[in-house]
Structure 1
Amino acid sequence: MRSRSLLFGLAITTLLVGAGVSVAQEDPDIDCGNATTQFELNYCANREYEAADKVLNATYKMVMAHMVGVDKAMAGSDPSLVGAADALKKAQRAWIGYRDGQCVLSGFSARGGSMEPMLVSGCLADLTTRRTAELKDVLEAY
C-alpha cells in the first residue's frame, strides 16, 4: 500500500514537473492571488496542496499522540479495549488510497492536457483539507 502511495506521489511530481511546475522551490514571482497562465495556476494549485498536506500531517501527529494516550489509559483498565492508534493508522492508510485514486480520476477530464496537474492538485488540496477537519473532529470527540 505504501509503495502505491509513493508511486502515486512520484507520478504527480512527474506530471507537475512535466507541466513546468517546480515542486522543489517556490517562485517568488508568481502571485497566486492573481494567477492567470496555466503554468501559474498549476503552480499555485500544487502550492495549495502542499500547504494543506503540512496541516494534515501536523494534525495527524496530534491525533495519533492522543490515540496512543487513549490506548495507554485503556490498557490499564482493560487490555482488550486497546487499538485506537491502530484504527487511526488503518483509517489514514485507507483514506490515502481513496484520495490518490479520486484525484487521478479528477484529472481525467483534462487527461494529457496542461490543465491536468491543476485539477489533480486542486482535488488533493480539497480532500486533504476535508480530512484535516475529520481528524480534528476525532480530537473533539474526546
Structure 2
Amino acid sequence: MFIMSHIKNVGCLALLSTGLFFSVQASAADTCDKAYTQTDINKCIAAELAVEDKKLNQSYRDFQRLLNSSEKKQLKTVQLAWIDFRDKACQFSAQSVRGGSAYPMVLNGCLTTYTQQRRVQLDADIKNIRNK
C-alpha cells in the first residue's frame, strides 16, 4: 500500500514539476482512488483523457454550429494548430519519465489538463457569441 501511495505521489510530483495544474492530480485522485498498480493508474488517467476529449469534441461541434463558413474554416485551422501544440507540449513535459512506467500517466495527465482548458475556453467563446 505504501509503495502504491508513493508511486501516486511521485506521479503527482512529476505532473507538478512539468508546470501543470493541481486540479488534474486532484481529479485523478478522485476517480483513480482504487488504482493501485501503475498499469491501473495509467489506464485510469487514459480513461479521464477520453472523457475530456469527448467533452471537447462536443464543445467544438457546438461552437461550429454558431459560425459561418469562413469562421468554421478559421476555427478548424486554430483547433488543428492547438492539437499540435498540446501534443508537442505534453511530450516535452513528460520527457523526464520517457521510457518509464509512469510515462503514460504523466503524458495523459498533461493532455487531459490542456484538453480540459481548451474545452473551457471554447465554452466561454460559445457563451460570448450567444450573449451578443
Question: After superposition, what is the alpha-carbon deviation per residue over 1:67-101, rounded to whole angstroms, capped at 9, x for unaligned?
Answer: 1xxx2xxxxxxxxxx62111111110110000110
1:140 corresponding residue in structure 2? 127
Counterparts of 2:33 and 2:54, CA distance in 1: 20
Determine the structure 2 residue equivalent to 1:118: 105
Aligned runs of 1:21-40 on 2, under 5 Å?
Answer: 32-40=32-40
1:84 to 71, 81, 90: 71
Cα distance per residue 1:16-51 (max 9 Å; x no partner): xxxxxxxxxxxxxxx723222111111111000000
Local SS of the residue matching 1:33? coil
Q: Which amino acid aligns with 1:138?
A: D
Instruction: Name the SS for the 2:113 alignment partner.
Output: helix
2:48 corresponds to which residue?
A: 48
The corresponding residue for 2:62 is 62
Instruction: Report the Cα offset of residue 137 of structure 1.
Output: 1.1
Q: Distance in 1 between matches of 2:92 and 2:42?
A: 17
Which sections of structure 1, spanning at least 5 residues, go unmatched? 1-30, 72-81
Q: What stretches of structure 1 move > 6 A for 4+ residues in a row? A: none
What secondary structure, in the 3-state scheme, does the structure 1 residue paired with 2:36 have?
A: coil
Give the superposed CA RMSD.
1.3
Please tell me the residue identity of whatever aligns with 1:53: D
AA partner of residue 75 (structure 2)? L
Q: Which residue in the other structure is 1:20 paired with?
A: none
Report the residue type matching 2:117 in the other structure: R
Instruction: Name the TM-score, length of structure 2 as normaliser.
Output: 0.71
In structure 2, C-alpha distance between the alignment counterparts of 1:112 and 1:140, rounded to whole Å: 42
SS state of the match for residue 134, structure 1? Answer: helix
**Does 1 or 2 have the higher relative contact order (CA < 8 Å, sep 6+)?**
2
Instruction: Count matched residues.
Output: 99
Aligned amino acid, residue 131 of structure 1: R
Residue 6 of structure 2 corresponds to which residue in structure 1? none
Report which of the two structures shows the higher radius of gyration computed on alpha carbons: 1
TM-score when normalising by structure 1:
0.66
Using the TM superposition, give the Cα deviation of residue 130 of structure 1 relative to its aligned residue in structure 2, in angstroms: 0.4
Structure 2: any 5+ residue segments left out of the alignment? 1-30
